[in-house]
Amino acid sequence: MDYFTVEIAGRAVASFRSENHEEATHFFEAEDFRDDLTVLESEGRPLWDRKAALSLRKATTEEASEVEHAYEFDDDPERTIEDEFVVFLVPVADLTAGEDDTVED
C-alpha cells in the first residue's frame, strides 16, 4: 500500500492509502469524494469551494503515520485494510449534519 495526500490550495487536508497511484487518482477524481469535500467545513468555511486547486501527491512519512494511527484505532470491526480510509489532517465538521456532529479524524 502507498499513502497519498490531497491538498486544497496547497494545504494538506486529507490522507489515505491506496494500492497504487492509479487507484489513488481514481479515488481522488471521483465525484463522490469531491462532493464530500464541499459539505465538510474547517475553521467555519467549506473545506473546498470547487474553485481552489485540488492536487494529489505522495504522503509524507508523518501523514502516512496519521493514516496508520487512525486505522489502528478505528472501531469498525468489519473494515479491512482494503477499504477506503480517509483521514482528515484538519478539523472538519459536516455542514449537512447537526451542529454537534463533528467528523472525527
The domain limits of the chain are 2-103
Considering the entire predicted model, what is its pTM?
0.83
Q: Is the pLDDT of residue 101 over 60?
A: no
pLDDT digits (tens, 9 = 90+) for 65-100: 999 888 877 777 776 666 678 999 999 998 776 544
CA distance 21 to 26: 9
Q: Is the pLDDT of residue 25 over 70?
A: yes
- Residue from 91, 94, 83, 86 nearest 28 by CA: 86
CA distance 31 to 35: 6
Helix (H, G, I), strand (E, B) or coil at 34: helix
